[in-house]
């Protein structure tokens, strides 16, 4: 048994693109909501729970408060959900660029305070370890930077050749 999703007729500025099968707005919204929930768990709830539980042990101190992690993770998850629903529209490129800038800002917060201090009491006095993770953050910043450039190219492509990417994004 095959279930077919309802598809919308792809048009943009009065031009019909017969080679594309764009899902209906309801299907796009359902996908966006599912993606938002997944990203909310991965980008907000899970890091928040890990940071709160590690800091509660008292051995580790972080310069970034857990509320910032929860807030920016929620904003990032919301923007990621918006990119899923905006994909067949010209607003997709700017949405991807905004989500990338938020991700870069989020990582920049960690870059400014890229050290974890672990203190353990021993019989001869406290042992304090300071772990720097600046190179890891810099490597992680490459992906949002490339994604920002991808959003810029998509925005320019949608401006110069409206609807041209739709058949490749949503083949019939």
Q: 11 is written with which tokens?
A: 């048009």
pLDDT at 152: 96
Residues 6 or more apart in contact with residue 117 via CB below 8 angstroms: 60, 61, 128, 129, 130, 131
| pLDDT for residue 19 | 67
pLDDT tens, 13-59?
555 566 677 778 888 899 999 999 999 999 999 999 988 888 888 76
Per-residue pLDDT tens over the stretch 52-101: 888 888 767 777 888 998 999 999 999 999 999 888 888 899 999 999 99
Non-local CB neighbours of 172 within 8 Å, separated by 6+ positions: 18, 19, 20, 21
Residue 141 contacts by C-beta under 8 Å, 6 or more apart in sequence?
A: 104, 107, 108, 111
């Amino acid at each position: 048994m095959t279930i077919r999703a309802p598809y919308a007729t792809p048009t943009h500025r009065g031009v019909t693109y017969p080679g594309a099968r764009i899902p209906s707005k309801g299907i796009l919204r359902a996908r966006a909501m599912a993606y938002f929930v997944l990203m909310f768990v991965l980008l907000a709830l899970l890091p928040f729970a890990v940071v709160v539980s590690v800091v509660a042990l008292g051995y580790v101190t972080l310069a970034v408060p857990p509320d910032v992690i929860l807030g920016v993770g929620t904003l990032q998850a919301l923007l990621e959900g918006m990119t899923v629903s905006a994909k067949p529209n010209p607003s997709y490129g700017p949405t991807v660029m905004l989500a990338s800038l938020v991700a870069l800002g989020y990582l920049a917060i960690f870059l400014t305070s890229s050290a974890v201090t672990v203190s353990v009491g021993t019989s001869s006095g406290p042992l304090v370890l300071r772990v720097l993770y600046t190179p890891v953050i810099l490597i992680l910043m490459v992906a949002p930077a490339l994604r920002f450039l991808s959003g810029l190219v998509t925005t320019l492509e949608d401006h110069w050749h409206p609807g041209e990417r739709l058949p490749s994004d949503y083949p019939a």
